[in-house]
Chains A and B, each alone.
Chain A
Amino acid sequence: MTRTRIWTGAAAALALTAAVAGCSGGGEDDGPVELTFWHGYSEADGDVLEEIVADFNASHDDITIDTELKTWDSIDDTLLTALSAGEGPGLVAMPAERLPVYASKGAFASLDDFYADEASNTANLVPGAVEMEEVEGEKFGVPSGFVPLAVYYNTALFEAGGVDEFPQTWDEWVEAAKRLTVDEDGDGTPEQYGVVLPDHATVANGLWPSLFYGNGGGIVDGGEAVIDSPENAETLEFWSGAIAADQISPTGVDGIGADELFSGGKAAMTVGGPWMASIATENGIDYAIAPLPAGPAEQAASAIGVSMAVTVDTSRAEQAAAEEFLSFFLNEENSVKWSLGSGWPPLRTDIPAEAVAENPVVASLTEIAATGRPLLPGVVNSVDVLSAVDELTQRAVAGEDVDALLAEAQAEVQAALED
């Protein structure tokens, strides 16, 4: 009995496979240009993007764009294989710090001519956003998102803790966080933290770069590692002290864990991206948004960036079609629509604040948009640089010797840059 079943099953599967293989050879047609667009916008932002694409398709008889929603991670997992066999999408969106490595390996078409064209709507893009599209002076992408990290804070917890004003400096920040940290049972582990500062894999990898900037430090400057600086040593000592000694934040948390703590009401402040707004709402948390408190040197924040690029798996006609879409995406009407729908600030500096005032999240983020700095623009091996930064911050928060750690990180970052 069973034997027969197995054989019949195998035969059926064989027939099926052959049939499916037979139908799969769909050919090219010479109708409109078809472009596949991979992206990871899965929430309200995804709906708006679909709308913009639908508008574009409706207004362009000769071009059809098919979007394919994937997770940001799986775009990274599958783009390389797809491109290696000429099966890649025509357009792809990805986290901005991932663009240089693909561009440097020749995965993307140069967009210098596109940028030079006035009709491309790129003239008034936020300069920092454009900077992250450049690899060795050549532009390979168009930003679809650029927003500085901001503090999302729980207004109910602020009220309960008697903190009336949002801190403006690092010292005030730590002070407020201390007041908002609650260890009711006195067991040494607070039940509520004033702030959650992840020590690795932070939101868009941007928390510690932001803190470094605030004290006048940095990671890479002009293609050279500058991480081993007295400013950065000070920064690390200041914050690891606040985290370890004053327990204003849990340790060993990553960016995702930080978001979870905030959305669970267990941390009064988190440093995050625009999606925190909808997450907070979903979890019934009253929140407000504020810029990162200024460091001793300046107020600055690393930005979360998303880039769209045209892959080399495109014919000349497809590339033209892709550029047509990019300029459509960046036109005034769609810029406003995209910004309001996605909750990210407008990508164009010439969009007046009133245009996006109806969305309070966008309005508050637009105010601080200028303080955003691109993360490691043009750095091809960002993987190793970021893992060196992660190791540095994680060990520093754990209490290891900051100077030795910085020297080590400096060597690793420099090696990654020379790779």
Chain B
Amino acid sequence: MSADHPPVRRYRPPAPLGGRRRATGSPAGRNTKALLFLAPALIVLGLFVVWPMISALRLSFTDASGFGREEWVGLENYAAVFTDPDILNAVTNTVLYTVLFTPTAVIAALGLALLLNSPRMPFRSFFRTALFVPFVVSFAVAAFAWSYLIDPQVGLVNYWLRGMGIRMGNVLEDPTWAMPMVAFVAVWKLFGFYFVIFLAGLQDIPNSLYEAARMDGAGPWSRLRNITLPMLSNTMAFVLVFATIAALQAFDQIYVMTGGGPYGNTQTVVMEIYESGFRKLDIGFASALSYVLLVATLILSLVQFVFFGRREKDLS
């Protein structure tokens, strides 16, 4: 396959948000062309994503319940978001979850990708497939299977650990361990996808860079630090941003495994959004909370892009 590529490929990794520009034709012509390519997606996104987002923004200033009358309440919902102790608790939990989930998933995916990128490893194909399989399992089923495995009465993992003299107890009802457990299930389910993206990113690093480094006498550790990681920074930014978005919107497996408990210790922001919207029928408040989450996510993502996307420039 490598024969498809020109022998000397000038590799320039793309910048995460900017990127190199191709200037052909007049600016107006380019704009028309771009619009034609963008139109189908923009129509779908505009109609089914942006329009509902605008509606939700409007609802966040009302006391809407989804049906019946609704009244304009100004910033009342936002004020409630920032003063409600339950929301503060949910924010703390979401941050904790993100800190538990994101680095674990990303580092596990990266480490395994580095390992399985090495041609020296036996059974590469099998391991790659095995590590990806959890991704096809739905969160609901994953949560269900893990809950069964760690059940304090009939759980297999619990039983095996007891055999080794480790008492695991009722993890999902333990205020300290419930959160690490639901984060672990998310790592289990999602890291395979990040792993595949990292594998792809690794394959994208031109061999010539390694050969040059080898000629300069660089060892494996130095090659990892000076070539692999910097060349992966773009992939890293991508994976990090999406892993963080996934973490900040944690819901599915928590809903199934703990329902936010024990006593609110796994209650996340999206659990609050769901509960206030679909259980208390307070759509106005749920919308306001969603927008606060959006702004927080946006800021965090931009920081990640700038921080991780910048470093590769040093390379060229």
Q: Determine whether B124 belongs to the interface, using a CB cutoff of 8 Å to chain A.
A: no
Interface residue stretch chosen among A102-110, A268-276, A295-303: A102-110
| Residue among B67, B68, B174 facing the most chain A CB atoms (10 A cut-off) | B67
Beyond A252-B262, A391-B263, whether A383 also contacts B68 by CB under 8 A is no
Question: Within the assembled complex, what's the spacing in Å between the Cα atoms of A77 and B140?
Answer: 15
**Most B CB within 10 A of own CB, among A105, A106, A312, A381:** A105
Instruction: Decide if B76 is an interface residue (CB 8 Å cutoff).
Output: no
Is A84 on the interface with B (CB-CB < 8 A)?
yes
Q: Is A83 an interface residue (CB 8 A)?
A: yes
B261, A394: Cβ atoms closer than 8 Å:
yes
Least Cβ–Cβ distance between B158 and chain A, in angstroms: 11
The yes or no answer to B204 lying at the interface (CB within 8 A) is no
Cross-interface CB contact of A200 among B174, B261, B275, cutoff 8 Å: B261
A253 to B152, CA, bound (A): 10
Contacts of B249 in A (CB 8 A): none
Contacts of B67 in A (CB 8 A): 80, 83-84, 105-107, 312
A251–B174 alpha-carbon span in the complex (Å): 11
Using a Cβ cutoff of 8 Å, how many contacts connect chains A and B? 67
Closest to B68 in A: A106
What's the nearest-Cβ distance from chain A to residue B8, in Å? 29
**Number of residues of chain A lying within 8 A (CB) of chain B:** 29
Tell me whether B278 is interfacial, beta carbon within 8 Å: yes
Across the interface, do B262 and A394 meet the contact criterion of CB distance under 8 Å? yes
Contact call B263/A395, Cβ cutoff below 8 A: yes
Contact A105–B263 (Cβ < 8 Å): no
| CA gap between A395 and B65 in the complex, in Å | 33
Task: Kindly identify which residue among B68, B170, B278, B280 contacts A381, using a CB–CB cutoff of 8 Å.
Answer: B280
Nearest CB to that of A80 among chain B residues?
A: B66
Interface string of A68-81 (1 = CB under 8 A from B): 00000000110011
Q: Give the distance to chain B from A123, nearest Cβ to Cβ, in Å.
A: 31
A81 touches B68 (CB 8 A): no
Residues A103-130 near B (CB distance < 8 A) = 105-107
Q: Are B69 and A106 in contact (CB under 8 A)?
A: yes
CA of A69 to CA of B75, assembled, Å: 40
Q: Is A266 an interface residue (CB 8 A)?
A: yes
Give the contacts of B216-273 with A (CB-CB under 8 A). 259, 261-264
Residue pair A77, B263 in contact (C-beta under 8 Å): no
Q: Which residues of B contact A391 (CB under 8 A)?
A: 263-264
Contact of B281 among A102, A251, A252 (CB under 8 A): A102
Give bound CA distance, A387 to B153, whole Å.
25
CA distance A381 to B282 in the complex (A): 10
Q: Decide yes or no whether A261 CB sits under 8 A from chain B.
A: yes
Kindly provide the distance from the CB of B58 to the nearest chain A CB, expressed in whole angstroms: 14
| Residues 51-67 of chain B, each 1 if its beta carbon lies under 8 Å from chain A, else 0 | 00000000000000111
CB contacts (< 8 Å) of B312 on chain A: these are: none
B residues near A180, Cβ cutoff 8 Å: none
Q: What 0/1 pattern do residues 137 to 159 of A give for CB contact below 8 A with B? A: 00000000000000000000000
With both beta carbons as reference points, the residue of chain B lying nearest to A313 in the complex is identified as B67
A285–B275 Cα gap in the complex (Å)? 37
- What residues on B are CB-neighbors of A394 within 8 Å? 173, 261-263
Confirm or deny: A101 has a beta carbon within 8 angstroms of a beta carbon on chain B.
yes
Contact between B278 and A80, CB atoms less than 8 A apart: yes
Which residues of chain B come closer than 8 Å to A84, judged between CB atoms? 66-67
**B-chain residues with CB within 8 Å of residue A201 when the two chains form the complex:** 259, 261
Whole-angstrom CA separation of A60 from B236 in the bound complex: 66
Q: Find out whether the CB atom of A80 lies under 8 angstroms from the CB atom of B263.
A: no
- Judged by a CB distance under 8 angstroms, whether B20 is at the interface is no
In the complex, chain A residues 242-281 whose Cβ is within 8 Å of any chain B Cβ = 250-253, 261, 264, 266
Q: Evaluate contact between A200 and B66: CB separation under 8 angstroms.
A: no
A133 within 8 A of B: no
Report the separation of the CA atoms of residues A381 and B69 in the bound assembly, to the nearest whole angstrom.
Answer: 19
Tell me if A390 counts as interface (CB < 8 A to partner B). yes
Q: CA separation between A391 and B281, bound complex, in Å? A: 22
Assuming A102-B281, A105-B68, A381-B280, what are 11 further A-B pairs, CB within 8 angstroms?
Answer: A80-B65, A80-B66, A84-B66, A101-B280, A106-B68, A107-B65, A200-B263, A252-B173, A253-B173, A394-B173, A394-B263
B residues lining the A interface (CB < 8 Å): 65-69, 152-154, 170, 173-174, 259, 261-264, 275, 277-281
- Would you mind naming 16 contact pairs between A and B with Cβ atoms under 8 Å apart? A77-B278, A81-B66, A83-B66, A84-B66, A101-B280, A101-B281, A106-B67, A106-B69, A107-B67, A250-B152, A252-B152, A252-B170, A252-B262, A387-B264, A394-B261, A394-B262
Which residues of A come within 8 Å of B, CB atoms? 76-77, 80-81, 83-84, 101-102, 105-107, 200-201, 250-253, 261, 264, 266, 312, 381, 383-384, 387, 390-391, 394-395
